[in-house]
Amino acid sequence: MASNDYYRLLGVARNAGDDEIKTAYRKLALKYHPDRNPGNDEAESSFKEINGAYEVLSNPDKRRIYDQFGAEGLKSGGGRGGFGGFPGADMGDVFGDLFENLFAQGGGSRGRPRSRRGADLKYAAEITLEDAFNGVKVPVNFERTELCGECDGTGARGRSGVKKCPTCHGAGRVQYSQGFFSFSQACPECGGQGEVITSPCKACGGQGRSKKSVSLNIKIPAGVEEGAVLRVSSGGDAGPRGGSSGDLYIAVSLKHHPHFERNKRDLVYECAVAVWQAALGGEGEVPLIEGGRTKIKIPPGTQHGKVFRLHEKGMPGPGGRPRGDLLVKVKLKVPHDLTPRQRELFAELALIAGHEVPPPEEEKGFFKKILGA
Ligand SMILES: [Zn+2]
Ligand SMILES: [Zn+2]
């Protein structure tokens, strides 16, 4: 059925209305859907073509261009997706829960549907680098949906508060026909439970669940990395009608530290060293993440950017593995606002090295004049 005529592909007239196009597409898409035709390449390519045709004809702008210029007119910026490129937004609109059921059937769920799982919840926790070093318990306060304690999640006031669903007679599913096909669907009356509530629980109004404020202390292990996500199994919302709970996810981020940059298990510290200290050698002081400070030796002739490595003074490794290193990076500090004596000494150094020394202070006024500052 390869054709560039989208109207012929969908089997509709050129003046067909939106609903007519939608109905035709829906019928054909069901017929050629890959789930119904496993391993059938012909059906798969037909399915693609139908989708392509519908994508154009269901969009008033694209349809107008197509009517005027044909498929060629849509080539630039038409942007048709490949296989699986459903006409996105319209998909749900056209099929509703039809496909959902199609897939559910393919998945082999028969009879009563599985109870649905509750929603996962996400919580962001920002901790200090020190807390990441030591490990920390973070109080997490949030709201989640929990099973109603009054009715144990059934939503009914006692066992006498429910009766067999009159629509599905307790089966939980109903059959209906779509063209040549017959589908079974979760019963809309009872949501697939086979029972309906006649007398709702007073505490939850028949919902079986209610919102609760929850406070948990979440243990964040030592050495946790920026962006790590911890999972608290079943810490999320309770599922509807006795379904299992979702999970709670804690996304960990680290606060900026005044001294240290972190590079996985290593820490980086920028150590300011005076010019004369770098030239003559001396000692520098370095803070430690566990608290306190340590001294490092600065050898004579140390250059800007030189890195000293302090072994196992970094962050803890996971599972008790050794700590990373502390990298101390030398940052040369050039003095400004020299005292007259300091200036004299620097000038002497400059003269020894054969550099010309500008006259003191006047330069400022001189440049100010030139720049008109
Ligand atoms: Zn209740
Ligand atoms: Zn029912």
The rounded Å distance from CA 233 to ligand 1 centre is 24
User: Taking residues 306-312, what's their average pLDDT?
Assistant: 97
Say whether pLDDT at 46 is over 80.
yes
User: Taking residues 220-231, what's their average pLDDT?
Assistant: 91
Confidence of residue 3 (pLDDT cuts 50, 70, 90): low
Give the residue, 117 or 294, on which the prediction is more confident.
Answer: 294
User: What residues have their beta carbon closer than 5 A to ion ligand 1?
Assistant: 148, 150-151, 201, 203-204
The rounded Å distance from CA 152 to ligand 1 centre is 7
Give residue 33's pLDDT. 82
User: Taking residues 305-329, what's their average pLDDT?
Assistant: 92
The ligand minimizing its distance to the Cα of 167 is 2
The rounded Å distance from CA 186 to ligand 2 centre is 8
Give the residue, 193 or 362, on which the prediction is more confident.
Answer: 193
Average pLDDT over the chain reads: 82
User: Taking residues 104-120, what's their average pLDDT?
Assistant: 54
Domains by residue range for the chain, with CATH: 6-96 (1.10.287.110), 121-254 (2.60.260.20), 260-333 (2.60.260.20), 340-371 (no CATH)
Which phi and psi angles does 367 have, rounded to 5°?
-65, -35
The rounded Å distance from CA 115 to ligand 2 centre is 14
The rounded Å distance from CA 135 to ligand 1 centre is 39
Residues with Cβ within 8 Å of residue 315, at least 6 apart in sequence: 132, 133, 223, 262, 264, 265, 266, 267, 289, 323, 324
- What are the residues facing 269 on neighbouring strands? 260, 328
* Selection from 40-49, 168-177, 304-313, 336-345 with the highest mean pLDDT: 304-313
Distances (CA, A) of 14 to 23, 57, 123, 197: 15, 10, 53, 51
Distance CA 105, CA 101 (A): 6
Confidence of residue 156 (pLDDT cuts 50, 70, 90): confident
The rounded Å distance from CA 20 to ligand 1 centre is 46
The ligand minimizing its distance to the Cα of 186 is 2
Give residue 325's pLDDT. 97
Instruction: Quick: pLDDT tens for 269-282.
Output: 999 999 999 999 99
The rounded Å distance from CA 231 to ligand 1 centre is 28
Range in 94-98, 276-280, 342-346 with the lowest mean pLDDT: 94-98
In 172-280, which ranges are E strands? 173-178, 181-186, 195-197, 209-220, 229-232, 248-254, 260-263, 266-274
Helices (H) then strands (E): counts for the chain: 10, 15
Give residue 349's pLDDT. 93
Query: Which stretch of DSSP H or E encloses residue 98?
Result: helix 98-106
Say whether pLDDT at 297 is over 70.
yes
The rounded Å distance from CA 161 to ligand 2 centre is 16
The rounded Å distance from CA 196 to ligand 2 centre is 7
Give residue 371's pLDDT. 58
Say whether pLDDT at 236 is over 70.
yes
* Selection from 13-22, 112-121, 294-303 with the highest mean pLDDT: 294-303
> What is the reported pTM?
0.56
Range in 192-196, 210-214, 295-299, 317-321 with the lowest mean pLDDT: 317-321
Give residue 88's pLDDT. 34
